[in-house]
């Protein structure tokens, strides 16, 4: 098979891991930068162009879409879908998961535990919101990644100053309850094709509440409880994702999903667990390519 990875840079760990895993299984692997792809909408022949050349003759794509280019990246993925090329991540699911508040809305509507969260519309309502969430509380930018734009506020004065600073820049702000009993720890559950393939516990370094490995947190192997497994699988099913990293906090109310990442990094999870997660993604892509081939044969027979 010929499989193309959509990635901003070929040297990134996740991209390299996927390249190695695909080549190990005998596939012809390639990388193109989705941010540099031009898309042509046409009734009879939708096309994707990269460096002036049509991107044709490929069997499947593996999107690695960063938050800064979500809209364009999803449009590129959608164009490949229109060309009947298999993709490991659906374009609509990618968009939905990337919108933090929208995904929390959907998860909560399906009975999946999430921290109490407010999307701020009017700062005049902040005292009322504080009375519900209490202190400390978490303030997040909707498009934050790796813990950037995520702040712990201990009092109304700090919270108000941070929120005013963000809203003055017309940023969308999420205010969320602080799960004290999590103690700076969360669990990353990596799911591929409706199967939990790897799990790690991330512990923030002393004095830090954010458990991102990019911020000095340490990763450890951990076993999930059955309710935690069901929560993670339900979250991915709810958002329609086939590849995802589900981040869970352990709370007195049970597992709370704080985020579902549609383009989770592979370095931390593979290093900590020793599991070839990239290989699992390649296997999923293989299955999707085969299903697409069968569909094309079926549709061809119907037309004839």
pLDDT digits 0-9 by tens, 252-278: 999 999 999 999 999 999 999 999 999
Whether pLDDT at 208 is above 80: no
Q: What's the rounded Cα separation, in Å, for the pair 226 and 94?
A: 27
Q: What's the rounded Cα separation, in Å, for the pair 242 and 98?
A: 14
Whether pLDDT at 70 is above 90: yes
Q: How confident is the model at residue 212 (pLDDT cuts 50, 70, 90)?
A: low
Whether pLDDT at 215 is above 70: no
Instruction: Name the residue among 3, 165, 149 with its Cα closest to residue 68.
Output: 149
Average pLDDT, the chain: 92
Whether pLDDT at 177 is above 90: yes
The arithmetic mean of pLDDT across residues 218-228, rounded, is 94
Q: How confident is the model at residue 214 (pLDDT cuts 50, 70, 90)?
A: low
Q: How many CB atoms are located within 10 Å of the residue 125 CB?
A: 11
Whether pLDDT at 303 is above 80: no
pLDDT at res. 68: 85
pLDDT at res. 250: 95
The arithmetic mean of pLDDT across residues 47-53, rounded, is 95
pLDDT at res. 146: 59
Instruction: Name the residue among 276, 108, 284 with its Cα closest to residue 195.
Output: 284
The pair of three-digit structure tokens given for residue 88, joined into one six-digit string: 């490991």
pLDDT at res. 217: 76
* Cross-strand bridge partners of residue 28: 2
Whether pLDDT at 216 is above 70: no
In which residue are the tokens 């103690």 written? 183
pLDDT at res. 44: 80
CB-based contact 154:204 (threshold 8 Å)? no
Domains contained in the chain, CATH given:
2-89 (3.40.50.20), 96-113+181-262 (3.30.470.20), 117-178 (3.30.1490.20)
Whether pLDDT at 168 is above 80: yes
The arithmetic mean of pLDDT across residues 170-199, rounded, is 93
> What is the tens place of the pLDDT at every residue in 121-157?
878 889 999 999 999 999 998 876 655 778 999 999 9
The beta-strand segments (E) located in the chain are: 2-6, 28-32, 37-40, 47-50, 53-54, 60-63, 86-87, 117-119, 137-141, 150-153, 173-177, 185-192, 195-203, 218-221, 243-251, 254-261
The arithmetic mean of pLDDT across residues 64-91, rounded, is 94
Strand order in the sheet with 150-153: 117-119, 173-177, 137-141, 150-153
> What is the tens place of the pLDDT at every residue in 16-47?
999 999 999 999 999 999 999 999 988 888 89
């Amino acid at each position: 098979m010929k499989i193309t990875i959509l990635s901003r840079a070929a040297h990134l760990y996740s991209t390299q891991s996927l390249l190695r895993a695909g080549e190990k299984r005998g596939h012809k692997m390639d990388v193109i930068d989705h941010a540099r792809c031009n898309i042509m909408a046409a009734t009879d022949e939708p096309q994707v162009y990269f460096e002036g050349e049509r991107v044709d003759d490929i069997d499947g794509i593996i999107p690695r879409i960063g938050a800064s280019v979500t809209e364009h990246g999803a449009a590129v993925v959608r164009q490949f879908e229109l060309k009947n090329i298999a993709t490991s991540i659906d374009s609509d699911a990618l968009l939905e998961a990337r919108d933090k508040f929208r995904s929390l809305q959907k998860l909560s509507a399906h009975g999946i535990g999430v921290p109490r969260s407010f999307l701020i519309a009017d700062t005049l309502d902040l005292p009322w919101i504080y009375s519900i969430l209490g202190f400390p509380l978490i303030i997040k930018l909707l498009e934050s990644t790796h813990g950037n734009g995520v702040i712990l506020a201990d009092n109304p004065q700090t919270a108000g100053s941070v929120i005013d600073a963000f809203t003055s820049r017309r940023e969308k702000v999420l205010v969320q309850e602080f799960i004290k009993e999590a103690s700076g720890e969360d669990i990353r559950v990596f799911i591929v094709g409706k199967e939990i393939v790897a799990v790690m516990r991330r512990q923030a370094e002393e004095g830090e509440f954010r458990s991102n490995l990019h911020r000095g947190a340490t990763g450890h192997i951990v076993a999930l409880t059955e309710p935690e497994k069901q929560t993670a699988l339900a979250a991915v099913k709810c958002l329609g994702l086939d590849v995802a990293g589900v981040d869970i906090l352990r709370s007195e109310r049970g597992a709370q999903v704080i985020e579902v990442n549609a383009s989770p990094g592979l370095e931390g999870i593979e290093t900590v667990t020793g599991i070839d997660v990239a290989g699992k993604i390649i296997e999923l892509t293989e299955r999707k390519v085969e299903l697409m081939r069968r569909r094309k044969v079926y549709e061809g027979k119907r037309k004839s």
